[in-house]
Amino acid sequence: MLLTWPYTFAEATAIGDPISLPDLTDFTEKFTSKVTSDLTSNPSSLASNFVVDGEIRKGEFFGIETINKLIQAADAQSTSVTGIRIYYGLAYEKLNRVTGETIISTQPINDAILRPRLFLVAVDEQGKDIAINPGSYGDGPDGNGAGNGSPHPPFGDN
């Protein structure tokens, strides 16, 4: 169910709250516990896609340069960039365990398992994804958001 975006520009730019480390730990531990529980009750559930080499995928890292480029490209398109929306998605991936680099694709690369990945898109004051002009962001002609961060695990601390 989609609702009308209820925020003003100023309200939208301030969405989000600081989270304490104990609360963040609690939220992520609940996620890990739920994935484990779902796997126990149904090994072929979507939860199985979160397990990579025996570890549960918890997050993804995006560099500040990538985030800044996304905001700059969106800023060139819209005078009302209010923030970034992070989409959950599933992608086929190939992971280089030495360099930490991944390749993601809409088509199978190594195997037919879709893995959870995060995708970032700039958002305007009406709550709409900002369409970025072809070629103005990233290497490709159709860069409109950011994806292919560094998955955690295997890389990261916690």
What confidence tens digit (pLDDT) does each residue in 35-65 have? 999 999 999 899 999 998 888 999 999 999 9
Q: 146 and 70: one domain?
A: yes
Write out pLDDT tens, residues 74-91: 998 877 899 999 999 999
13 in any annotated domain: no
Judged against a pLDDT cut of 80, whether residue 143 lies above it is answered with: no
**Whether residue 151 sits in one domain with residue 89:** yes
Cis peptide before 116 (omega within 30 of 0): no
Q: Report which of 97, 103, 96 is spatially closest to residue 149, judged by C-alpha positions.
A: 103
Whether residues 78 and 149 share a domain: the answer is: yes
Q: What is the pLDDT of residues 15-39, one digit of tens each?
A: 999 999 999 999 999 999 999 999 9
- Secondary structure of residue 129 in the 3-state scheme: strand
State whether the Cα torsion 136-103-60-44 is positive or negative.
Answer: positive
pLDDT of residue 87: 95
Task: Tell me the CB-side half-sphere exposure of residue 21, using CA atoms within 13 A.
Answer: 1
Domain that residue 105 falls in: 57-158
76 and 149 both lie in a single domain = yes
Whether 150 maps to a domain, the answer reads yes
CA 31, CA 1: separation in Å to the nearest integer? 24
- Its pTM stands at 0.84
Residues 125 and 80 both lie in one domain: yes
Structure confidence by residue, pLDDT tens digits, 119-137: 999 999 999 998 887 666 6
User: Dihedral angle at the C-alpha atoms of 142, 92, 36, 151, nearest 10 degrees?
Assistant: -60
* pLDDT surpassing 60 at residue 14: yes
Contacts of 137 (CB under 8 A, 6+ apart): 69, 70, 73, 74, 143, 144
The residue length of the chain stands at: 158
How far apart are alpha carbons 110 and 102 in whole angstroms? 12
Given a cut of 80, whether residue 142 has pLDDT beyond it is no
Residues 49 and 63 in one domain: no
Output the pLDDT for position 68.
Answer: 92
Whether residue 2 is contained in a domain is answered as no
In which band, very low, low, confident or very high, does the pLDDT at 5 lie, cut at 50, 70 and 90? confident
Does residue 7 lie in a domain region? no
Structure tokens at 133: 């002009």
Q: Domain tally for the chain?
A: 2
Give the CB-side neighbour count of residue 133, counting CA atoms within 13 A.
Answer: 7
- First vs last C-alpha separation in the chain: 35
